[in-house]
């Protein structure tokens, strides 16, 4: 058996020699490349924390000592060392989650994969341990240098430094990157530490002593290394951003030197007060294709060839993100008022082309969504039109700023929300399912949901012309799919996708759910039920023609890929009642639950958002009501319709 196969719990690491630990680290890297290349996942971050994770589990006693991973996309090694080595269905239905998950293991503490929260978690857990008489338990927060660009980390540090009586270790995993290279003053400071000549020269020299002179060299090496760390700790503290926080600082430590890491972590563990251990690591360590990837060093990959790193499959259609990337560049070329803002996700959100062409007009603010939104309000006040590009799940983090800084001031800011609705393999914290319910409460906001590439281009162009209110353009993850041309467009911009001779059911679709709506209409038509399918395009505010269509139909069915509670269907129903229209409304969307990781189609199947399931339910509603349909149905046909709808 391999060394890795013999590791079932962290305590199994204690019996391994230094040589065996080095061998285990290489086994883990080979395992990660082989397995993640088959399923896709966060490869680069995990290759960079192999030794660091080994050292943490050698020094601390998980789960008695709580280990909290900020973001958690670097937790694959942690999973391997805590008995989870079946990666065959990683991020797939029924398989391991791509982030820590409490239902998988007691070693997983925090599930949220939103960045910059780990220090607040660690602060709370360590306070609880102290207050409940468990002062011998430790808390370890593993936070990347990218997460230090988020304001919440500094709020936590401010409070952690106010109480030095707790066993709390903050491990800064410093690889100079979040998703992409880390930006800002913090990045410049840490880069200075990494490249400081004194640190590099002393570390290289002392390491050579160990390599050349064996046991004697080891003693000299350890002495010099300790002196180096002590010297740099004092030297760095005099200049660092931590200097006024009264928190012990150890480092910088070579993040791939197991002995150095264990020594530093042991010192931190035994200190008896909050300690920062600064470990310098390399994202993508040991895998040449990742190291050669300048853009993101294989931060997240799909299925790839393990040898070359090349994608196994190429999408046959452009992605929603790529369509946006091209269109925002086109619009920005025509209108110099347009500027772009993102939060450490320049390439993932599609702003990279805009940045390459107009570098002075695109701002990456780091993992700081709140700052991004309020800064955008300021840019709008100054006469520009900011386009804030975020994943839909991350706009949740900045709701107060959207409401009070943008909405209240009626700032002309466009929010482009990628990965809206069901995203699939990244699980509960990454589904972008709350944006419609959350954002539609902002007064004067306008929300667009394109159904295909053509309407994305069109609605984005419309959004950036609005100067007196916030606008939102939201779209899904993955391929953009086929286009659904409209039969006609109403005067207020509603697209009619299908009309029947008899107006029995009105199907109002939101964005890409147009495809499902058309499938439902086809199934209803086969049962003699006439269905009209419309796409409002701009779903908030509800266009007047949606009210009029509803007035002339017997049943209204709304279909959205956002949470049903407080969603677009709810808004349509409220507007109908306000207009005195008493047409029955069926609101279909996602349940108010945290949905697991699975493919988009699997989740739609689970929650009943497929053409077949919706058609069956609508037929049952029609048959169970006293509402007549266009063609009266004999009693003996009722059972056949129920069967055929299935």
Cis peptide bond prior to 541, omega within 30° of 0: yes
Catalytic residue (choose from 369, 459, 560, 587): 369
- Residue 422 per-residue DSSP state: -
Catalytic residue (choose from 79, 269, 283, 573): 283
Q: Report whether 265 contacts 56 (CB < 8 A).
A: yes
Burial letters 307-316, b for 16+ CB under 10 A, else e: eebeeeeeee
283 is catalytic: yes
Cα–Cα dist 269/276, whole Å: 11
> Among 123, 116, 260, which Cα is nearest to 202's?
260
Helix or strand or coil: residue 151?
Answer: helix
Phi, psi of 240 (to 5 degrees): -80, 170
Helix or strand or coil: residue 240?
Answer: coil
Q: Report whether 89 contacts 13 (CB < 8 A).
A: no
Q: Report whether 521 contacts 530 (CB < 8 A).
A: no
> Among 581, 435, 579, which Cα is nearest to 511's?
435
Cα–Cα dist 231/153, whole Å: 26
Annotated binding site for thiamine diphosphate: 73, 113-115, 146-147, 175, 287, 369
Cα–Cα dist 387/416, whole Å: 7
Q: Which residues contact 162 (CB under 8 A, 6 or more apart)?
A: none
Cα–Cα dist 320/452, whole Å: 8
Taking residue 243's Cβ as centre, other Cβ atoms within 10 Å add up to 12
Pairing of strands 495-498, 531-535: antiparallel
Q: Which residues contact 189 (CB under 8 A, 6 or more apart)?
A: 239, 240, 241
CA dihedral 213, 214, 216, 220 (to 10 degrees): 80
Cα–Cα dist 327/321, whole Å: 10
Per-residue three-class SS string for 46-115: HHCCHHHHHHHHHHCCCCCCEEEECCCCCCHHHHHHCCCCCCCCCCCCCCCCCCCCCCCCCCCCCCCCCC
Annotated binding site: 73, 113-115, 145-147, 175, 287, 369
Q: Dig out the tokens for 523 from the structure.
A: 């199934």
Q: Dig out the tokens for 609 from the structure.
A: 């958002």
Catalytic residue (choose from 285, 397, 537, 564): 397
Element (H, E) at 446: strand 446-448
Q: Which residues contact 80 (CB under 8 A, 6 or more apart)?
A: 4, 7, 28, 31
397 is catalytic: yes
Q: Which residues contact 616 (CB under 8 A, 6 or more apart)?
A: 642, 645, 646
Q: Report whether 296 contacts 347 (CB < 8 A).
A: yes
Annotated binding site for Mg(2+): 145, 175
Q: Which residues contact 467 (CB under 8 A, 6 or more apart)?
A: 380, 385, 412
Residues constituting the chain: 646
Pairing of strands 505-509, 538-540: unpaired
Element (H, E) at 454: helix 453-463
Q: Which residues contact 519 (CB under 8 A, 6 or more apart)?
A: 610, 611, 612, 615
> Among 466, 451, 460, which Cα is nearest to 420's?
451
The position carrying tokens 């002179």 is 213
- Residues with catalytic annotation? 283, 369, 397
């Amino acid at each position: 058996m391999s060394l890795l196969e013999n590791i079932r719990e962290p305590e199994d690491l204690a019996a391994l020699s230094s040589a065996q630990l080095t061998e285990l680290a290489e086994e883990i890297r080979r395992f990660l490349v082989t397995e993640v290349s088959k399923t896709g996942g966060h490869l680069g971050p995990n290759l960079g924390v192999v030794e660091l994770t080994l050292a943490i589990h050698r020094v601390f006693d998980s789960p008695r000592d709580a280990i909290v991973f900020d973001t958690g996309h670097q937790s694959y090694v942690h999973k391997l060392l805590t008995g989870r080595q079946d990666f065959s269905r990683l991020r797939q239905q029924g398989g391991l989650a791509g982030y820590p998950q409490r239902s998988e293991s007691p070693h997983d503490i925090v599930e949220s994969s939103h960045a910059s929260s780990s220090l607040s978690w660690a602060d709370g857990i360590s306070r609880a341990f102290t207050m409940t008489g468990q002062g011998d338990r430790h808390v370890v927060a593993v936070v990347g240098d990218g997460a230090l660009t988020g304001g919440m980390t500094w709020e936590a540090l401010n409070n952690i430094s106010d109480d030095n009586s707790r066993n709390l270790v903050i491990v800064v995993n410093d690889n100079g990157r979040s998703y992409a290279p880390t930006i800002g003053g913090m990045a410049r400071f840490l880069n200075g530490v990494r490249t400081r000549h004194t640190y590099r020269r002393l570390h290289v020299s002392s390491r050579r002593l160990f390599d050349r002179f064996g046991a004697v060299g080891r003693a000299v090496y350890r002495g010099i290394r300790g002196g180096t760390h002590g010297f740099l700790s004092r030297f760095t503290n005099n200049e660092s951003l931590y200097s006024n926080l009264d928190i012990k600082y150890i480092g910088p430590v070579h993040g791939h030197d197991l002995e150095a890491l264990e020594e530093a972590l042991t010192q931190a563990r035994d200190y008896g007060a909050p300690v920062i251990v600064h470990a310098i690591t390399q994202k993508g360590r040991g895998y040449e294709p990742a190291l050669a990837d300048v853009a993101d060093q294989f931060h997240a990959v799909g299925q790839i060839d393990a040898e070359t790193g090349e994608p196994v499959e190429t999408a046959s259609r452009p992605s929603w993100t790529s369509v946006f990337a091209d269109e925002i560049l086109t619009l920005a070329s025509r209108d110099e008022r347009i500027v772009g803002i993102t939060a450490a996700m320049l390439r993932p959100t599609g702003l990279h082309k805009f940045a390459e062409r107009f570098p002075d007009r695109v701002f990456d603010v780091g993992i700081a969504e709140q700052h991004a939104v309020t800064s955008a309000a300021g840019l709008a006040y100054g006469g520009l039109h900011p386009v804030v590009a975020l994943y839909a799940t991350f706009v949740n983090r900045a709701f107060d700023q959207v409401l009070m800084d943008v909405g209240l001031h009626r700032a002309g800011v466009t929010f482009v929300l990628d990965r809206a609705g069901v995203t699939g393999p990244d699980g509960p914290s990454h589904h972008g399912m709350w944006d419609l319910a959350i954002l539609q409460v902002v007064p004067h906001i306008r929300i667009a949901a394109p159904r295909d590439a053509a309407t994305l281009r069109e609605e984005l162009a419309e959004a950036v012309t609005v100067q007196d209110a916030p606008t939102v353009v939201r779209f899904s993850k993955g391929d953009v799919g086929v286009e659904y041309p409209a039969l006609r467009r109403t005067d207020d911009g509603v697209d009619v996708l299908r009309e029947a001779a008899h107006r029995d059911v009105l199907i109002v679709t939101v964005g890409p759910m147009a495809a499902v709506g058309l499938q439902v209409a086809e199934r209803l038509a086969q049962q003699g039920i006439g269905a009209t399918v419309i796409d409002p395009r701009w779903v908030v505010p509800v266009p007047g023609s949606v009210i009029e269509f509803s007035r002339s139909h017997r049943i209204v069915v709304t279909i959205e890929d956002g949470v049903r509670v407080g969603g677009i269907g709810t808004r349509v129903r409220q507007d109908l009642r306000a207009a005195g229209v008493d047409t029955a409304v069926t609101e279909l969307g996602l349940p108010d639950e945290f949905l697991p990781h699975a493919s988009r189609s699997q989740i739609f199947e689970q929650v009943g958002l497929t053409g077949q399931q919706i058609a069956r339910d609508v037929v049952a509603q029609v048959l169970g009501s006293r509402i007549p349909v266009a063609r009266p149905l004999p009693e003996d046909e009722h059972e056949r319709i129920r069967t055929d709808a299935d």
